[in-house]
Amino acid sequence: MIDRWRQFCLHRLPRTSTASCFIFLRPFSASHTLQAKKKKMPPKKAPAAEKKVLLGRPSNNLKIGIVGLPNVGKSSFFNVLSDTDLGKAANFPYATINPEEARIPVPDVRFDWLCDLYKPASRVPAFLTCIDIAGLTAGASTGAGLGNAFLSHVRAVDGIFQVVRAFDDAEVIHVEGDVDPLRDMEIIQTELRLKDIEWVEKHLDGLKRTGRSLGNNSLADKAKKEEIATVEKIYKALTVDGKDIRKCEWNNKEIEVVNSLTLLTAKPITYLVNLSEKDYVRKKNKWLAKIKGWIDAHNPGDPLIPFSVSLEERLAQLPDDERAEAQKEPGAQSALGKITQAGYSSLDLIRYFTCGPDEVRAWTIRKGTKAPQAAGVIHSDFENKFVCGEIMTYEDLKENGSESAVKAAGKLRQQGKPYEMVDGDIAYWKSG
């Protein structure tokens, strides 16, 4: 092979080039050739990590519902949380029929500090929309106690505050006859899961009927088969595995199917244990450890917040100065702010701020929201004609003391369309 190349070169090249030709055609070993090829190949880029799709509706306007058995303190809690008397609190089951709705300001020390700095004419905090839902009872999934209507109200919200009664009071009747928080939690979990099973069964039957004629070549047919497989997996999780849907592992395609079904057990739950004022103040109750153990066994990771409706009602009746003084007593602090923030976080909601002398405002968005969509919650034109955002962190502003100082320190950043908003960002949008 080498000799042929030499003859070719001697024929094609001038005589003066013969020496250089032989030098150029010095034979290479196979290993040298492979090394040369390897050196020329560009390094492979690591594949970008796939962004996890969130469970639940893809919206910034999410709602949380108050759920529990009758007479556990749901409507009384709703009233003190919302500072209204919309909730129909009464000492008998089903005092609440139609759900009541209120917007609850979400406490935030960052928002308070920004208001102190800018002294704006208008102050608008973030809000959590809360719904008071009638009490569920055993058999609600089959229609007992207006259960079908009440469960449809649960389906309409995006997260759940589950109120659990752990106080004894002979004057407040219990629908099951006695106080047993573990039994009550089992009832609620069972009814939500049974309703999901019924819903998934119907949906799966419909998919299978239409899926009998599916082929293997069409992309649409393949997608439909994948959907059927996912729904079968959901059904197995509910029936065989005995798990709530939010506690199972799903990939992004499966989450899209789960979200389309709006399942009750896919909604995040925050457990609120209603104690007597005495037990809440002294931080002791015979049920608390057992409730925590039940959550760890059945729904690990779900938050548990003890509180006392009776304490909250007493504090709500006091003037502001007396209320602040009363909460200085050991153990007598209100839990409403903590509860509101927990509900807000459970829905994967975050906030960013716009600040100026006219207004300081917190804008609610979901985790993972990109800059153009975050700007769009103010006005759709900001998203459609998005140019960039000037972003600084709350921490940088607090550390430097003013916007000009942040800019001088090089901490004011221009961010484009790919930027993912971070909780506490302070933003100024530019649009065309």
Contacts of 270 (CB under 8 A, 6+ apart): 159, 160, 161, 162, 302, 303, 305, 339, 342, 343, 346
Distances (CA, A) of 150 to 140, 154, 261, 426: 8, 7, 18, 40
- Has 74 been labeled as part of a binding site? yes
- Has 141 been labeled as part of a binding site? no
Residue 128: phi, psi to the nearest 5?
A: -115, 125
* Contact indicator for 136, 150 with CB cutoff of 8 Å: yes
- Has 73 been labeled as part of a binding site? yes
63: Cα separation from own chain's centroid? 11
**Number of CB atoms found within 10 A of residue 183's CB:** 12
342: Cα separation from own chain's centroid? 11
Residue 210: phi, psi to the nearest 5?
A: -80, -15
Integer Cα distance of 248 and 5 in angstroms: 66
- Has 380 been labeled as part of a binding site? no
Integer Cα distance of 412 and 421 in angstroms: 14
Integer Cα distance of 419 and 432 in angstroms: 18
What strands lie across the sheet with 349-354, from one edge to the other?
Answer: 122-124, 359-366, 349-354, 425-431, 386-393, 413-415
- Has 275 been labeled as part of a binding site? yes
Integer Cα distance of 297 and 161 in angstroms: 19
252: Cα separation from own chain's centroid? 15
State the binding site. 71-76, 275
State the binding site for ATP. 71-76, 275
